[in-house]
Amino acid sequence: MSRDTACDPLPSVGRPARATLGVRRSASAVIGRVLERPALYRLWQRPFVYAKFAPIGRHNDLGAVRRVLDVGCGPGTNAGWFRHARYTGIDLNPAYVAYARQRYRGDFVVADVRGFVPPDGARFDFVLANSLLHHLDDDACRELLPRLAGCVSTDGHVHILELVSARRPTPAWLLARLDRGSFTRSRETWLGLFGEVLAPVVCESYAVPAVGPTLWNMLYFKGRPLAAAG
Ligand SMILES: C[S@@+](CC[C@H](N)C(=O)[O-])C[C@H]1O[C@@H](n2cnc3c(N)ncnc32)[C@H](O)[C@@H]1O
């Protein structure tokens, strides 16, 4: 496993005032509605897409990947890395999926990943969840992660990029609070959830962007299904 820096736990901040909570929820809802438009989401993410994906590039030979399952694929953000492979992307947002279908090769499916069953018992050597799981509560994560582990081929892995909670008051803390996903977790909590079904192969904390003020504290986790790893 990669050596890694410990992540500060989220400090106790007390109960936020009702008005503050209301303002945050409204701001988050407005941002959410704007970012549901594929072109605007792409524009907002464009400067950061490479930095978010960088640890996957460092730890894997992407050219050797054969079959990809990308859950919460958005408007095809990650599809371009896998042009040579058989790629399936799944997302809840039909506008994202329509956008991705116009731009990338592959199968793009509108579906809730929580109920996804791979067609014909398909197995994937690269199962990717980039910034999806902080949209799901613990129960949903516990439902999804074993499903993902069950889709992995004998030589494959699950690759997770996730948002880690940040200390306040920093830009990263503010962006996490305003994020559409309500379930940003500490590094320890993420590792606990992943560890229920996956044995870690790589576990790396990193900042996005890599230089300048941190906007997102991220975690890259690469794991093997526990049953297979045992
Ligand atoms: C932060 S975006 C990340 C998109 C993409 N993976 C990327 O790297 O840009 C989270 C994505 O998860 C999708 N999503 C959230 N909950 C979902 C669910 N239950 N099933 C399928 N997709 C979901 C959203 O529609 C959104 O596209």
pLDDT beyond 60 at 4:
no
Give the residue, 98 or 175, on which the prediction is more confident: 98
Q: Which atom of ligand 1 is nearest to the CA of 130?
A: 6
- Domain range list for the chain: 19-229
pLDDT beyond 80 at 20:
no
pLDDT single digits (tens) 109-168: 999 999 888 888 899 999 999 999 999 999 999 999 999 999 999 999 999 999 999 888
* pLDDT at residue 9, rounded to an integer: 37
Pocket test residue of 36, 91, 131, 148 for ligand 1, highest count of atoms within 8 A of CB: 91
Show Cβ contacts of residue 55 under 8 Å, excluding neighbours closer than 6 positions: 161, 202, 204, 206, 220
3-class secondary-structure state, position 110: strand
* pLDDT at residue 32, rounded to an integer: 74
Q: Supply φ then ψ for residue 180, to 5 degrees.
A: -65, -30
CATH 3.40.1550.10 holds for 19-229: no
* pLDDT at residue 218, rounded to an integer: 96
| Nearest-10 Cα torsion for 2, 194, 78, 106 | 130
Lowest mean pLDDT among 16-20, 26-30, 218-222: 16-20
Nearest residue CA, atom 19 of ligand 1? Answer: 112
**Residue 217, ligand 1, Cβ within 6 A:** no
**Residue 174, ligand 1, Cβ within 6 A:** no
Residue range 201-206: mean pLDDT, rounded: 98
* pLDDT at residue 14, rounded to an integer: 42
pLDDT single digits (tens) 181-193: 789 999 999 999 9
Give the residue, 87 or 37, on which the prediction is more confident: 87
* pLDDT at residue 5, rounded to an integer: 34
Residue range 51-66: mean pLDDT, rounded: 97
Residue range 198-208: mean pLDDT, rounded: 97
